[in-house]
């Protein structure tokens, strides 16, 4: 655990702020403060929306796992106390309790999937594979439009600030590619 922390997490925590600061500086040089502001606003918006979408799913996941644990516990007690239940003629009570716990589990899983399903997107509609191969629509939307935003930020230095008016066309393509890389590295 400590080795994993020292090798994987700690370097990212120490180096991360400097990398963000460097790319922010380089983007500010090429796209100006407006470009940096747009990137950071996009990041904050994405973080807030992810928080709103993920928080209820975490609660529902906890409820489902609690119901699964209760249902498993009931099966263990049935197995361990089968002879006592038979002698006391408690089969109907045990069946009622098992059915009740199963219904709670089923409905919690149903509502969890109902919350999760609108956030999912899938290429094919095989429901057996739904949980294995899905992706969150918002995350894909955020990633895709973040890449588009990197190109849209080029509008600022080219058309608003006119920074590249005197640059030859063949050099402009390389500059646009460089600025796109810098702005996509921040987010």
Q: What is the pLDDT of residues 131-174, one digit of tens each?
A: 444 446 666 777 778 888 888 888 888 888 888 889 888 888 88
pLDDT number for residue 90:
92
Dihedral over Cα of 165, 38, 43, 118: its sign = negative
pLDDT number for residue 121:
53
- In the structure, what pLDDT confidence band is assigned to residue 10 with cuts at 50, 70 and 90? confident
How far is the C-alpha of 43 from the C-alpha of 45, rounded, in Å? 5
pLDDT number for residue 50:
79
Of the two residues 93 and 32, the one the predictor is more confident about is 93
Mean local confidence (pLDDT), 85-112: 93
């Amino acid at each position: 655990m400590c080795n994993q922390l020292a090798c994987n997490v700690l370097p990212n925590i120490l180096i991360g702020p400097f990398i963000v600061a460097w790319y922010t500086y380089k983007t500010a040089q090429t796209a100006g403060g407006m470009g940096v502001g747009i990137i950071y606003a996009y990041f904050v918006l994405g973080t807030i929306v992810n928080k709103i979408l993920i928080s209820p799913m975490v609660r529902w996941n906890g409820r489902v796992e609690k119901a699964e644990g209760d249902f498993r516990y009931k099966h263990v007690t049935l197995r361990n106390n089968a002879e006592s239940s038979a002698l006391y003629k408690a089969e109907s009570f045990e069946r009622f309790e098992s059915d009740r716990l199963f219904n709670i589990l089923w409905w919690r899983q149903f509502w969890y999937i109902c919350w999760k399903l609108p956030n999912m997107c899938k290429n094919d509609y095989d429901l057996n594979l739904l949980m294995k191969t899905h992706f969150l629509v918002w995350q894909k939307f955020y990633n895709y439009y973040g890449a588009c935003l990197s190109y849209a930020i080029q509008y600022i230095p080219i058309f608003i600030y006119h920074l590249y008016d005197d640059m030859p066309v063949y050099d402009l393509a390389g500059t646009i590619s460089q600025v796109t890389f810098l702005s996509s590295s921040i987010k």
